[in-house]
């Protein structure tokens, strides 16, 4: 789904930053739409951003099912990305995700809200990496 709305400066700068680091990063806009993920994230996700395009929150949540270590489903509102977006605070958790190719991966996820000058949420930066031994 291609969006034509203009992105805010914090999202533009976050995307530029993400494009230039070796840490897997993704960027969500103020609505929770996945608007970018970098090349290191592509290796974990299993597809490129160019292949997937922007994904609305309900769309990417359906594609990347999250579970706790005991196998219970993580409600959308408890995902680190949702906490960062709705509560405007960083959130971190190690979860099991089923990826697009069906692989199950254990990922440590840290979601950080991007606040604009008026304390409005411009989006969320998500840092994630594969957890060892979880």
Q: Which CATH number belongs to the domain containing residue 99 in this structure?
A: 3.30.450.20
pTM over 0.85: yes
Residue 1 lies in a domain: no
User: What pLDDT was estimated at residue 2?
Assistant: 46
Tally of structural domains, the chain: 1
Residue 125 lies in a domain: yes
Structural Rg of the chain based on CA atoms = 14
Task: For the chain, give the percent of residues with pLDDT over 90.
Answer: 74
* pLDDT tens column, 2-50: 444 567 899 999 999 999 999 999 999 999 999 999 999 999 998 999 9
User: What pLDDT was estimated at residue 133?
Assistant: 52
Task: Find the domain containing 13 and state its range.
Answer: 9-130
User: What pLDDT was estimated at residue 4?
Assistant: 45
User: What pLDDT was estimated at residue 5?
Assistant: 56
The Cβ-side half-sphere exposure at 32, using a 13 Å CA radius, reads 18
| CA dihedral sign, ordered 17, 13, 96, 133 | positive
Read off the tokens for 18.
């993400």
Residue 72 lies in a domain: yes
* pLDDT tens column, 80-111: 999 999 999 999 999 999 887 788 899 999 99
For the chain, give the number of residues: 134
């Amino acid at each position: 789904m291609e969006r034509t709305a203009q992105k805010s400066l914090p999202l533009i700068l976050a995307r530029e930053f993400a494009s230039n680091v070796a840490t897997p990063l993704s960027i969500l806009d103020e609505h929770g739409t996945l608007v970018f993920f970098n090349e290191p994230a592509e290796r974990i996700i299993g597809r490129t951003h160019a292949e997937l395009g922007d994904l609305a929150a309900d769309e990417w949540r359906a594609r990347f099912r999250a579970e706790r270590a005991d196998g219970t489903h993580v409600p959308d509102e408890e995902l680190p990305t949702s906490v960062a977006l709705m509560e405007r605070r960083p959130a971190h958790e190690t979860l099991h995700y089923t990826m697009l190719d069906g692989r199950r991966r254990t990922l440590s996820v840290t979601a950080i809200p991007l606040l604009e000058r008026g304390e409005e949420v411009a989006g969320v930066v998500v840092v994630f990496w594969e957890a060892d031994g979880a």
